[in-house]
Structure formats: structure tokens, C-alpha cells
Amino acid sequence: GDRRAAAAKNPATITRILLSHFNWDKEKLMERYFDGNLEKLFAECHVINPSKKSRTRQMNTRSSAQDMPCQICYLNYPNSYFTGLECGHKFCMQCWSEYLTTKIMEEGMGQTISCPAHGCDILVDDNTVMRLITDSKVKLKYQHLITNSFVECNRLLKWCPAPDCHHVVKVQYPDAKPVRCKCGRQFCFNCGENWHDPVKCKWLKKWIKKCDDDSETSNWIAANTKECPKCHVTIEKDGGCNHMVCRNQNCKAEFCWVCLGPWEPHGSAWYNCNRYNEDDAKAARDAQ
């Protein structure tokens, strides 16, 4: 009873980090929490034991009489402009804000951002992030990222696939069935695609992959081949000069690979087209 009460006294931010480490499995966390080795548990989850926090903080409080340099940007600031986690590493607010923004917006990190100090693996809790970030767009992205770990681990929850929608849909039991988000988007709860009855999710997935592969093939063909300007058969150039001879036995047209015009006026300009006009060539390609 006492230990359960002690567990309940942990700050919500720490509890969220612990739960995230155990994929939001409350039972597994409780089992580890009460097996006696708390130090090992906190170290594994990269947090400082909350019962030791106040002592750490007191040890790291310096006199604020003079300015001191930030260990990231080396600019001098008063002590009040520094902040840090329970590990005791302190940096200026500006460096914290830039560090967190980069981690969230460019690296897509949420629950796993650690202290910026070299070699320190203590995780930044969500209260600290929300306090140090002022840009609402960054805050929204961060909230989405930390919520995502919970949604991904819960079989009854699914993000709405509509672009720019941040809603989560909850169901009674996970199944391939149509669900509708508050934003109005209807989708298959199982695979997240548009509702596709009577086709099974696995077949739809295969079909989508086939279409993607086909479009990749089309992209390659567009980038690496051209059509004979006379008979329109597809030709791939495998090195050599620009003088092309169509291999279609009924055609055998001679043309320039660059401008797609007849070869005759090019004379001996084997490697440089003397008639090339970028706009005309593009128009000829697009017409194909």
C-alpha cells in the first residue's frame, strides 16, 4: 500500500516517461516498480529518481551575483536566464529553445529528447518542453509526437489519416470496419485507407504497392527513354553519340537524341546538337 502511494506521488511528467518506456503497459511498469530495484528502473528509463531531485537541485544552485557563460553558445547571461533538468546541466533559454525546436521539427523526436549536455542521457519531460518552446506550431507538433507513442501502442486507437487533422479515433474492438472522424473523413480502422469493402486490407495494400511500382516504372521510362519522332516506338540510349537510328524494321528513321529532329541537318555534330533549343525539345518531349 505504502509503495503504491509512493508511486502515485511521482510527478505526472515522470510517470509518462516511465509508461512510454514500457509501451504504455501499466501492469508491466507496476511489476518493475515494486520489484525493489528503483534505481535500476529510473536509470533504464533515463530519468532521475524524483525522491533525489530536490537535493540535486540544491547542489546545482549557484550564486546569481555575476553573469556566466552558456556552455553551448558561450555568451554571458545572468543566472536567472539559465535552466536545466534534474541532472544539473544548465544552458541559456535561447539555446534550449533552438535545441528543442530542431529535435522536434527536423528530427521528429518527442518522448526521447535528452539533455543537450555531452554524454547525458536524462530525458526532457513534457513540462520543460512546453515551458521553453514559445512557437505554437512546434508545441502542436511536440504534443502530436508524444501522444503518438500512446496511440501506436493502443490497439483501440488510430490517428485520422486526413492531412492536417490531429484527431484520434477510438473503437470498442479493433477490426477492419469503416469509422468516421470528427473532421468528416471516413476510413478503414484496420489499415487507415479509404473504406474499401468488399476488398480485404491485404489485397488493397498489394494493389496500392503495384500502382506505386507502376508509377516508379513510368518515372524511369520518362527519365531514360524517348520515342522515335516518326513511328513513336520507345528507345533507350545506352551511351554513344546523339545520332540515333530507329531499330523498328519498318521505320529506321535517323534522328538526333537531343532535339528529336531529323539527323541530316546535323552533319558531323555527333556529340553536340547544333539545333538544340531547350523549349522546342521540351515541347517535343511533352508531346510524347
Overall average pLDDT of the 126-142 stretch: 93
Dist. CA 233–CA 188, nearest whole Å: 43
What is residue 198's three-state secondary structure?
Answer: coil
CB atoms within 10 A of CB 196: 16
Catalytic, 241? Answer yes
| DSSP conformation letters of 64-123 | -SS-EE-TTT--EE-GGGEEE-TT--EEEHHHHHHHHHIIIIIT--STT-B-SSTT--PB
pLDDT at 73: 94
Q: Dihedrals φ, ψ of 140, to 5°? A: -65, -45
Write down the domain spans for the chain: 2-56, 68-147, 226-287
Average pLDDT, the chain: 84
Q: Tell me the whole-structure pTM to 2 decimals.
A: 0.60
Whether the Cβ atoms of residue 47 and residue 14 lie closer than 8 Å to each other: yes
Whether the Cβ atoms of residue 287 and residue 265 lie closer than 8 Å to each other: no
Which residues make beta-bridge pairs with 188? Answer: 178
Place 59 in a pLDDT band, splitting at 50, 70 and 90: very low
Dist. CA 20–CA 16, nearest whole Å: 6
What is residue 159's three-state secondary structure?
Answer: strand
Dist. CA 171–CA 186, nearest whole Å: 14
Query: Which residue, chain included where needed, has cell 518531349?
Result: 285
Q: Is the pLDDT of residue 124 over 60?
A: yes
Which three three-digit cell numbers place residue 168?
484520434
Place 176 in a pLDDT band, splitting at 50, 70 and 90: confident
Place 58 in a pLDDT band, splitting at 50, 70 and 90: very low
Dist. CA 128–CA 101, nearest whole Å: 13
Which three three-digit cell numbers place residue 53?
531531485
Q: Name the catalytic one among 73, 183, 241, 251.
A: 241
Lowest pLDDT segment from 116-120, 152-156, 249-253: 249-253
Whole-number Cα distances in Å, 121 to 26, 62, 87, 88: 24, 23, 9, 12
CATH topology of domain 68-147: Herpes Virus-1 (3.30.40)
Omega prior to 198 cis, within 30 of 0: yes
Dist. CA 130–CA 44, nearest whole Å: 24
DSSP class of residue 195? Answer: P
